[in-house]
Amino acid sequence: MAIYFAIFQTEWTFLSLAFLTPLSVNIEEYTESFGLFVPTEPILFTLMLLFILLQIQKQFINKELWKSPIIWALGFYLFWIFITSITSTDPITSLKYLLSRLWFIVPIVIFGPTFFVNSQNIKRFIWLFIIGMMIAITYTLIVHASYQFGEKEGHWVMWPFFKDHTIYGAIVALSVPLVFGLYFSKKHHPLVQATIIGFISITLLGLFFSYTRAAWLSVFAAVGVWGLIRFKIKFRFIAGIAVFIGALLFFSWDAIQMNMAKNKSEHTTEDFGKKLESATNVTTDASNLERINRWTCAIDMYQERPFFGFGPGTFAFEYARFQHAENITIISTNFGNLGNAHSEYLGPLAEMGTIGFISMVLIVIAIFYKGITLYIRWPKEDKEMRILILSMILSLTTYFVHGVLNNFLDTDKAAVPVWGMCAIFIALEISLKKKQAN
């Protein structure tokens, strides 16, 4: 049945990924063997093979696709993953990592623009993703309510749809600008308008009760980016402020560390302001301390193998010996078997060296360069699409700001919406060029 739909209802099979992603389940939770999100990853793998076969038979990809800076950045990133998989300390693990990246990126970013050239499919994709998220958030809130919204229970009540509150919070935060974008994009029928208001309420409740500080902060960062775009702040001014802040942090780092060391605010407090303040507690907060432990390991790993790194996907198998006794926390393990580097940027640095880190930064730069220029150039009379473009820029802002503290692009939960929005930017760029040529 799945193969039938993939072949004869390819467009809807592709769009269904948006709805299914928030509701997918990792079979590792039940088999304790290998991780696979179903049904999304089997669908993605099938679509990747199908699209490649169709492309070989009859080329249908628009040639303009290959001019996109997003495609070039992703191509460089995948190329370096391949190179560092060969030099990896565990080539099998790294090649598996490469394969998983391919079935996330190729069907969505390479072939996705073919579907998104139809603007209706862009709206359908966003709507389907938001509806899927509403089901997942509502389920989580209902289960959480049965525990009086306790913070300890808030770490796992989103299971089986999300592994824990960190990834759940990240994707809820990513959804916030999108659901607001749907509301402001156009004047809807009163029933649809009321439904979206309900979605906004559910999303904000989900964000608050995720108890994920990084997710809260990422939404505030998105609001800041909205202000920069809304008031047309010049890039050179932003760059100047960034340099000033960077210099201030550099020369004041000792004082900052002393103030952070005095911060005893705990994540378990009920006060919202105290929860945010606890994000800088590096004295008693185990979550923050463990993150610093992983980051220190990632930097030490990079220093040992700065060019090729240890290999894609190998951090969890290598970081144990790089742990310093003073950084060990109550949630650390001597075997170092509890996951990744907790950063979309330091992970590639440790696993793929300097070039791996640069490739990730280039992807982020390409995405925001293309998204913001697209928003500026898009016809002002098409208010609906302009607002949706802006909402996607802000949505991606929440993710890549959150990416400083966590990394989830190796899961469908983050990969499908993030790469999906990249594919939409590419498709809109192709459509804009066609409009300007006519």
Q: Please tell me which of 47-56, 204-213, 223-232 the model is most confident about, judged by mean pLDDT.
A: 204-213
Q: What is the pLDDT of residues 233-278, one digit of tens each?
A: 776 676 677 667 666 655 664 565 556 554 544 555 455 555 545 4
- The two tokens of residue 409 are 């692009």
Q: What is the pLDDT of residues 397-406, one digit of tens each?
A: 999 999 998 9
Q: What global pTM score does this model have?
A: 0.91
Q: What is the pLDDT of residues 276-318, one digit of tens each?
A: 454 444 444 567 788 888 999 999 999 999 999 999 999 999 9
Structural contact between residues 363 and 74, judged by C-beta atoms closer than 8 angstroms: yes
80's torsion region: left (phi>0), alpha (psi -120 to 50) or beta? alpha
For residue 375, give Cα distances in angstroms to 54, 64, 231, 423: 32, 19, 14, 15
Determine the pLDDT at residue 79: 98
At 421, the pLDDT band (50, 70, 90 cuts) reads very high
Instruction: Output the DSSP codes for 138-196.
Output: HHHHHHHHTTTT-TTGGGTTTTTTSSSHHHHHHHHHHHHHHHHHHHHHS---HHHHHHH
Beta-carbon-side half-sphere exposure of residue 46 (alpha carbons within 13 Å) = 17
Distance CA 102, CA 415 (A): 11
